[in-house]
Amino acid sequence: MAAAATGEAGVRYEKDGQIARVTIDRPQVLNALNRAAHDAMSRAWDRIRDDPDVRVAILTGAGNRAFCAGADMKDAGEASGAAYLANALPLGAGGLSLRRDLLKPVIAAVNGLALGGGFELALACDLVVAAAHAEFGFPEPRVGRLAMDGGIVMLASQVPLKVAMGVLLTGRRISAAAAQAAGIVNEVVPGSELPAAADRWASEIIACAPLSVEATKQLALAARDLPSWAGARWFPRLALDTLTSEDADEGVRAFREKRAPRWRGR
């Protein structure tokens, strides 16, 4: 049964069994984020990281117009110029785009516009399910800014360079279908089916062994972020911890006994 939702600064958190749901709830500004909302989201990811009962998180926006339209440019506290750099977000957009300590998978359920920081949030998630009417883009060059919370690097590393440059250098938006074709989005569904689609992906993750899922994410991120030689130092230990766990034995037993495994996360 889902726990009561809690919220602060326009960010709602709800624990639904083994799924944590984080919702940007600022529809009056297309779910754009001010500093207080960024900080509230960062605390939500800390909470998910530290809760042993949570296996996967789903991030979405309130309403059906926007996932997140980026920075709340009309907020009185939004800095510019040198102050913008001085107040840079230490963990990136929403405390997620530059974070490396969250090994539990995060699914973006993109229910509308994902622009600027909103696009960075989607790129930072491990899986992306998008409503058919969703759009993605980095409008920063059109207002003299940069997608500095990982957006430029993440997009250039996740899609062919020419595709990335077409988005980054023009500030244009791309459709959900185009984002799926580029490899940014895993699945496109009608807007009414988005919550169910995200839950389906979450259920498939939960069906897997927790240690295997977290180790797989850690290795995948390392492969993207680290030079090829670096992983050799810690890959054997990580593999040993996972493959000698109780869950590793349970997975084999369940397969042989033709039943669903009973994961214990150890």
Total structural domains within the chain:
2
d(CA 43, CA 56): 16
Are 220 and 95 members of one domain? no
**Residue 140: active-site member:** yes
pLDDT band at 1 (very low <50, low <70, confident <90, very high): low
Q: Which of these is catalytic: 8, 78, 120, 257?
A: 120
Task: Please enumerate in sequence order all residues whose Cβ is within 8 A of that of 182, keeping only pairs 6 or more positions apart, or say none.
Answer: 159, 160, 163, 174
Are 54 and 136 members of one domain? yes
Residue ranges making up the domain that contains 230: 210-257
CB-CB contact of 16 with 3 (8 Å): yes
In a domain, 265, yes or no: no
What does the pLDDT read at residue 87?
66
Are 66 and 163 members of one domain? yes
Are 156 and 119 members of one domain? yes
In a domain, 65, yes or no: yes
109-147 pLDDT, tens digit each: 999 999 999 999 999 999 999 999 999 999 988 888 888
User: Average pLDDT in the 216-227 region?
Assistant: 79
- Can you read off the two tokens belonging to residue 251? 């997975």
Query: Of 82-86, 161-165, 210-214, which range is least confident?
Result: 82-86
Q: Which of these is catalytic: 140, 193, 250, 257?
A: 140
**Residue 187: active-site member:** no
In a domain, 182, yes or no: yes
User: Average pLDDT in the 184-207 region?
Assistant: 98
pLDDT band at 227 (very low <50, low <70, confident <90, very high): low
SS3 of residue 98 by DSSP: coil
